[in-house]
Structure formats: C-alpha cells, structure tokens
Amino acid sequence: MKMKKLISVGVVAATLATTILAGCGNSDSSESEDGRKNLSVFIFANDHESEVYKDMIAKFEEDHKDTIANVDIQITTQEEYSKTLTGMMTAGDLPDVFYVGPESVEQFVENGYIADLQPILDEKGISTDGLVAQEALDSYRYDGEKTGSGESVYI
C-alpha cells in the first residue's frame, strides 16, 4: 500500500491559536499598533509542502484577522533546519511556533523554550482528539505535560 503524508492543518492551527493565547515562544513577539499579535513560524519543508503551509497560514491569518496582524513564516530545508534553530536558540530569538522532534522535548522544556499547552487547550475548548494518533501526541509529553504535537501523520 502506498504511504501518503497528510498535513494536519487542525493541529498546526491549534498550535498557532494556543501561541496567541499563551504568549509563548519568542519573548520579542510584537503587537501591531492596533494591538493585534505578530507571530513567527519556523519550519522545514520541501517545495510542495511549502505551498501547503503558506496557504494554511494565509487562511489562519484571515480566520483570525481581529487578533492577528501578521504571521511571518520562515521555511528552510530539513538539512539546514537544526543548525538554524540552534542559532536562534543561542541568540535568544526563537520563533513563536517551531518544530522539534520528540527526542528533543525534554531539553527544550527544561531550558524553558516550550511550555505545557494542555491548560490553554482546555481553557479554550480546543481539542486535538481525532486529529493525530494518541501515540504521536504522547511522544510530545514531558512530565505529563503536553508540550506540542506532531505536524503530520502517515497512513
């Protein structure tokens, strides 16, 4: 059977939404003059995935135009991603939304770079149930805290 990669739009949108609500991520996140948030996103993707992400971000901006002024999305190759993210971390300039593998969650939580999203999801009634396999969600837990979610699912 041929494997297909499905981008979990709802998971990324929920992550963006919790970023807005939590004010997590980059401490230099800014507000526009009218008080709406500016968000930064850093991901790796190939060409066809890049277009999907750009379309998804544009829809997110449209759906949240009363609270979001701009989403600055930076897309790089998988080969460059880790080096660039490490540089951002060293400079204290992490984006609001970024990807780390499950093996890196502990390091990022312990260094204060990512926070528990579950209380925010619960407060706002945002559910990831049915969007991603439970095993994928659990791989982003640390000390029982939900620190993130995988961005894609393979079937």
Count: domains in the chain: 1
Encoded amino acid at 61, one letter: E
Q: Contact at 8 Å (CB) between 51 and 58? A: no
Residue ranges making up the domain that contains 84:
5-150
Encoded amino acid at 81, one letter: Y
* Residue 8 scores a pLDDT above 50: no
Which two structure tokens, joined as six digits, stand for 87? Answer: 């540089």
Q: Is residue 155 part of a domain?
A: no
pLDDT in tens, 135-154: 666 665 656 555 555 554 43
Average pLDDT over residues 50-66: 90
Model pTM score:
0.68
| Residue 104: CATH number of its domain | 3.40.190.10
pLDDT in tens, 32-56: 788 898 999 999 999 888 998 899 8
* Residue 97 scores a pLDDT above 90: no
Tokens 């396999």 belong to which residue? 133
Q: Is residue 47 part of a domain?
A: yes
Q: Provide, rounded to the nearest whole percent, the portion of the chain with pLDDT above 70.
A: 65
